[in-house]
Structure formats: structure tokens, C-alpha cells
Amino acid sequence: MVTDRDGDVKGIDTQWRKPVALLVDENTRSGKELLAWGFLRYGYGQVIGQRTAGAVMMGLGFPIGRNALLLLAVLDLRVDGERLEGHGVTPSLEVVSPLPYSQGRDLQLERSIGAMGDQINRKLPPDRVP
């Protein structure tokens, strides 16, 4: 519920109903891994790319001297009994990116655009397919 400037209270439908994909790779970590896991678990859309880092534990920083910090894992996390730490999230569509910059091409982005096009085409009536 939201309240506008006039004090009127209204309900807002915040559900996303359009095709969406999530791009991940081995550098995706922490809360973004939870997002990727939820994307797969609840069927929001495809997760495209490479397995995530598996670095989900909560850490706290402790100063240990001049210009030094100890980052210590203080909280483990399980999602529906599944431990993501050390395992990561496996994408629904795996796209290996052999080089960070493949002559200016982004293979994961290209595959995700193709997957989104396929998803849109499946949802449109045949006479409305672009």
C-alpha cells in the first residue's frame, strides 16, 4: 500500500510479468547468489552464464592493526536446507565465456537476448510474432 500526497491510500501490483533473464558468472557472489537461487527456485526466468562463486557466508571485518583488516565468516546460510557456500548456483542455461573480451563480443549477453526472444515468441499468438 502507498499513500499519495493527498493522503489517498492505494494498493500497487508490483508483480513483474514480462520475460526476464539473470546473467551470472564465477564472480557473482553473496546476496546476488541468493537472487540467482530464487530466480531458479520460483521460476522468474532463466539464469544464464556460469556457476556462481559459492561465496555466501556473512563476514564481519575486524581491524587488526595499522592498515589491516581481518574478514571473518560469522554466519552460515542455508536456503531451503541447501548450502550455497562452496557450491554456488548452476545456471539454467550455461554459457561459458572463454575470454573476458571475446573480440568485443559478450557471449552471455547474446545468448540471453536469444533466450528472451524465444520466450517472447512462445508467449505471443502466432499472428503476433515479430
List the domain boundaries for the chain. 16-122
Q: Is the CATH number of domain 16-122 3.30.1300.10? A: no
- The β-bridge partners of 83 are 78
Kindly report the average pLDDT of the chain as a whole number.
Answer: 84
Query: Of 123 and 13, which is predicted with more confidence?
Result: 13
Share of the chain above pLDDT 70, in %: 90
Per residue in 50-68, pLDDT (tens digit) is 999 999 888 899 999 889 9
Q: What is the pTM of this model?
A: 0.69
Strand ranges (E), 1-120: 2-3, 9-10, 21-24, 46-49, 58-63, 69-75, 78-79, 82-83, 93-94
Query: Judging by DSSP bridges, how do beta strands 82-83 and 78-79 pair with one another?
Result: antiparallel
Model pLDDT for residues 21-46, shown as the tens digit of each residue: 899 999 999 889 999 999 999 888 88
What pLDDT score was predicted for residue 79?
A: 87
Residue 108: the pLDDT is 80
Asked whether residue 123 carries a pLDDT value surpassing 80, the answer given is no
User: Is the model's pLDDT at 119 over the cut of 80?
Assistant: no
